[in-house]
Amino acid sequence: MKCAELNRLLSPYIDGELDLQSALAVEAHLQECPRCSAAIAGVQTLRTAISRACEPAKAPLRLREAVQAQFAAAPQQATSRSLGFCLAATPGIAALLIVGWLALAQPWNAQSSAGTAQGTRIVYHLAGGNHVKANLRTLKNHLDAEPNLQVVVVAHSDGINFLLQGAQDTEGQPYIGALRELRARGVEFRVCTNTLTRQQIDTRAVVPEAVLVPSGIAEISRLQKKEGYTYLRL
């Protein structure tokens, strides 16, 4: 990979939006290119500066009340689809749902044909910080459907956030309960140390239920190649 190509992939790499192969190529390049490593650090510093400067605002109470009163009184219209600002079913999201469903359906097929005694091995790749609650529910459902499943969750980029001490969902509920429940059912959580270093997070901030691996991306690749894990993206 050349520096110019890395420059193009820098943002999606930092945001955890790259596919596994590209992310691996980026990490390999970073190992030997101080210039690009510095560029990554620069963007990371910028992200930290933005989140420090821009605390999310809470809607004022009067707005909340006004909104509630408003929609309670307003009649709905039937002519919804004619307006441009209103998107109907978004193709992208629908496609994602289908891919997710196919991916989930796959292990059952694998099990019925292979039927190994130790159960199917799945490595879940978690790179985003959104929908964590839904993702944990997906894991639980998967285990319910297939109790013998061996699951490793490898988290990097924003995907590590829910594995930090004191992490909460958007409603202020701590994740730790769901995390411990999954741990008790044999799910392993592995956190990318590269991400911690880049985001300047102390390793002690990671909950004891998770273990550290040097590189999340390399770990996923290793589990697939060396230990026969099936790859699924959360």
Partner 1 sequence: MHDDWERERFERLMLPHLDAAYNLARWLAKNDGLAEDAVQEAYLRAWRFFGSLRGDNARPWLLRIVRNACYELRQREHLPGPAEDFDEQRHDAEMLAAGAVITLPVNPEAAVIARAESEMVRQCLGALPRDFHEVLVLREIEGCSYQEIADIVGTPIGTVMSRLSRARRLLQGLIAERVRPRETGT
Interface residues with Zn ion (CB under 5 A) are 3, 33, 36
* Residue choice 2, 31, 41, 227 for contact with partner 1 (CB under 8 A): 41
Confirm or reject binding of residue 226 to partner 1 (CB under 8 A): no
Confirm or reject binding of residue 123 to partner 1 (CB under 8 A): no
Residue 184: which of partner 1, Zn ion, none does it interact with, CB under 5 to 8 A by kind? Answer: none
Confirm or reject binding of residue 51 to partner 1 (CB under 8 A): yes
Q: Determine the interface stretch with partner 1 among 54-62, 114-122, 172-180, 216-224 (rule: CB under 8 A).
A: 54-62
Burial class (CB in 10 A: 0-12, 13-18, 19+), 126: buried
Confirm or reject binding of residue 45 to partner 1 (CB under 8 A): yes
User: Which residue in 47, 26, 32 sits closest to 215, CA to CA?
Assistant: 26
User: Which residue in 176, 181, 118 sits closest to 146, CA to CA?
Assistant: 118
| Shortest spacing between CB 156 and Zn ion, in angstroms | 20
Q: Which is nearer to Zn ion, 36 or 160 (CB)?
A: 36
| Shortest spacing between CB 169 and partner 1, in angstroms | 11
Confirm or reject binding of residue 97 to partner 1 (CB under 8 A): yes
SS3 56: coil
Beta-carbon contacts of residue 65 (< 8 Å; ≥ 6 apart): none
Confirm or reject binding of residue 100 to partner 1 (CB under 8 A): no
Q: Which is nearer to partner 1, 63 or 105 (CB)?
A: 63
| Shortest spacing between CB 131 and partner 1, in angstroms | 9
* Residue choice 19, 21, 31, 42 for contact with partner 1 (CB under 8 A): 42
* Residue choice 32, 80, 102, 225 for contact with partner 1 (CB under 8 A): 80
Give the length of the chain: 234
Q: Record the tokens describing residue 229, joined without a space.
A: 């894990």
CA distances from 29 to 10, 13, 22, 43 (A): 11, 12, 11, 17
Within 144-183, the residues that bind partner 1 by CB under 8 A are: 158, 170-171
Burial class (CB in 10 A: 0-12, 13-18, 19+), 15: middle
CA 177 to chain centre: 19
